[in-house]
Amino acid sequence: MPDFEAHLAHRMRQLRPSTIREILKVTAQPEIISFAGGLPAPELFPLLDVGAAAQRVLSARGADALQYGPSEGFMPLREWIAAEMGGRGVLADAQDVLVTNGSQQVLDLVGKLFLNPGDVVLTENPTYLAAIQAFQTMEARFVPVPTDGDGLVPDWLPGLIAQHRPKFLYTIPNFQNPTGVTLAAHRRRELARIAGEHGLTIIEDDPYGKLRYSGVDIPPVKHWDEAGCVIYASTFSKTIAPGLRLGWVVAPRGLFSRLLILKQASDLHTSSFDQRVAFVYLTQSDHVAHIERIRRAYGERFGVMDAALREEMPTGYSWTHPEGGMFLWVTGPAELDSLELLSSAIKRQVAFVPGRDFFPGEGGTNFMRLNFSNSTPERIRDGVRRLGALCRCL
């Protein structure tokens, strides 16, 4: 047997299994109330409509749907996405849209596109765990941008750019994962301006923008991107279903062909069948009403979790109040070790994600990410009661 360890690429030395994936294995047991995963509510999946769309695709264009397809994606779906981008305040042509296997693949592709070992990526602090993982695969170094309740603070950027010469800034402006925080409109405009002035590439990751349940929509950073600095990624994972693995990227013209080469090398193309099913679903079902149902349910679930936390958590704990998305972020007392708390919590059959792994640098032991989209209101109340009891005993 070969000495696999000795033969592994250098990049494997710094890669660790995702804590979330490990936790999810434990929390898959039905008796555990899990606030851990980033899972949408399965009872809200549009099962009947997607089933009807799949039937229609198979009976009308079955052979095409099961054949290889273009790497760019299924053109009618790209056109639909381009129109959708218009609704989000971004002028895009179907030719600018590359269909991907979820937005996670966009992170993989942009990592390959830009990063050599040791290159710097600017991120919010904390940031999305699997983005850290994707860029770590390319041996990136992370430099966090100071962040507050309105998202990252653009004033820091000129100094950080001068000092670290980053390859790009990765940001999640809407209902960020893990904090639920939204980047304020004036900061988005400022971010786009600074990026233009300093030649900074921005990766704007927007999986949650359509899931706003209070407040008013804010256009993406790309809306203000006159200089062509922003690569925008989004997904159908939260608005249709993540199992379809359908996302997209809108890239400035000069980069599209490069991304396309990487996409081809990676997997040739995203599933022809899934793309056609999604297209038929989007154009022949009431997708808008479906998103409205999701928004209402998540807004209600956030309200239930917020009220339960107010009732159950001892003093010294605070949490964010997101206006959309699927997560809130709890800050505990400085001495809290949320990883240790998790082992006691699992014994009481409730789970969350400890904050530590969302920080690309040091710190972060006294935070927890709680998901509110995947549990019913009853289970949210019950789970927060168990969590609160544990925190009161610390």
Interacting residues toward ligand PLP by CB under 6 A: 38, 102-104, 128, 172, 177, 205, 207, 235, 237, 242, 247
Question: 252, 206, 250: which is closest to 228 by C-alpha?
Answer: 252
Q: How far is the CB of 267 from ligand PLP (least distance, A)?
A: 13
Neighbour count for residue 149 (Cβ, 10 Å): 10
Instruction: Name the residue nearer to ligand PLP (CB basis): 291 or 308.
Output: 291
Kindly provide the b/e burial profile for residues 227-252, where b requires at least 16 CB atoms within 10 angstroms of the residue's own CB.
Answer: eebbbbbbbbbbbbbbebbbbbbbbb
Widest distance between CA atoms in the chain? 61
Instruction: Name the residue nearer to ligand PLP (CB basis): 151 or 207.
Output: 207
Q: How far is the CB of 93 from ligand PLP (least distance, A)?
A: 22
Q: Which residue has the tokens 């089933």?
A: 51
Instruction: Name the residue nearer to ligand PLP (CB basis): 240 or 308.
Output: 240
Instruction: Name the residue nearer to ligand PLP (CB basis): 175 or 224.
Output: 175
Q: How far is the CB of 223 from ligand PLP (least distance, A)?
A: 19
Q: How far is the CB of 374 from ligand PLP (least distance, A)?
A: 12
Residue 124: CB partners within 8 Å, gap ≥ 6?
144, 145, 147, 151, 152, 170, 171, 172, 176, 179
Q: Is there a contact between 139 and 117 (Cβ–Cβ < 8 Å)?
A: yes
Measured from each CB, the residue nearest to ligand PLP is 102
Burial status of residue 253 (CB atoms within 10 A of its CB: 0-12, 13-18, 19 or more): exposed
Which tokens in the block code for residue 4? 């696999």
Dihedral over alpha carbons 47, 48, 51, 57 (to 10 degrees): -130
Instruction: Name the residue nearer to ligand PLP (CB basis): 177 or 271.
Output: 177
Instruction: Name the residue nearer to ligand PLP (CB basis): 114 or 170.
Output: 170
Instruction: Name the residue nearer to ligand PLP (CB basis): 250 or 391.
Output: 250
Residue 297: CB partners within 8 Å, gap ≥ 6?
41, 44, 373
Q: How far is the CB of 316 from ligand PLP (least distance, A)?
A: 28
Q: How far is the CB of 366 from ligand PLP (least distance, A)?
A: 22
Q: How far is the CB of 137 from ligand PLP (least distance, A)?
A: 15
